[in-house]
Amino acid sequence: MTTITHSAEGHRQGRVLVVDDEAQVRKPISIMLAKDGYEVVEAQDGEEAIEALQSGDNPLMVDTVLCDIRMPNINGKEAIAYFRSQFPGVPIVVMTGYPDVELAVSLMRQGVRDYLIKPVTKEELLSVIRKSVEQHVVLKDQFAV
């Protein structure tokens, strides 16, 4: 089930899709991002993330995807391939507990913006998400009609 956590009222920085199969990781990150002014959409695996993005007549627009790699159903690599093909302008940040240099290089070549190894400090995560959302907002502004 997808959960949406709204940012502090009147203080929206952007929308972040947090994809992680571990609720004890996903929930605190979502709360922290919401407190920092982001609207957060949660998904517990790649399949749920893809469904959330495709729901309704209009696809859900997000400013950044924060995605784990090892998950059931559709894993992070498969979900990232989908995000890159369907939403090429949306920045993706990987956050995983399994350091893998080859995978990191491969994902960066596919356009992943950052590759974080858990545990990640609050400051590091907020900094990476902030830069990622800002990059997307700048791109959106360039293409606005």
- Domain harbouring 86, CATH code: 3.40.50.2300
Q: How far apart are CA 72 and CA 64, in angstroms?
A: 22
| Residue 25, Cβ density class (10 Å: 0-12 exposed, 13-18 middle, ≥19 buried) | middle
* pLDDT tens, the chain, 145 aa long: 555 555 455 456 899 999 999 999 999 999 999 999 999 999 999 999 999 888 766 667 899 999 999 999 999 999 999 999 998 989 999 999 989 999 999 999 999 999 999 999 999 999 999 999 998 866 555 555 4
Residue-level pLDDT at 57: 63
* Range of the structural domain that residue 57 is part of: 3-143
pLDDT of amino acid 135: 86
pLDDT computed for residue 11 by the predictor: 52
Helix (H) or strand (E) holding 120: none
d(CA 135, CA 51): 25
pLDDT of amino acid 56: 65
pLDDT of residue 38: 95
pLDDT attached to residue 145: 46
Number of compact structural domains in the chain: 1
Contact between 17 and 52 under an 8 Å Cβ cutoff? The reply is yes
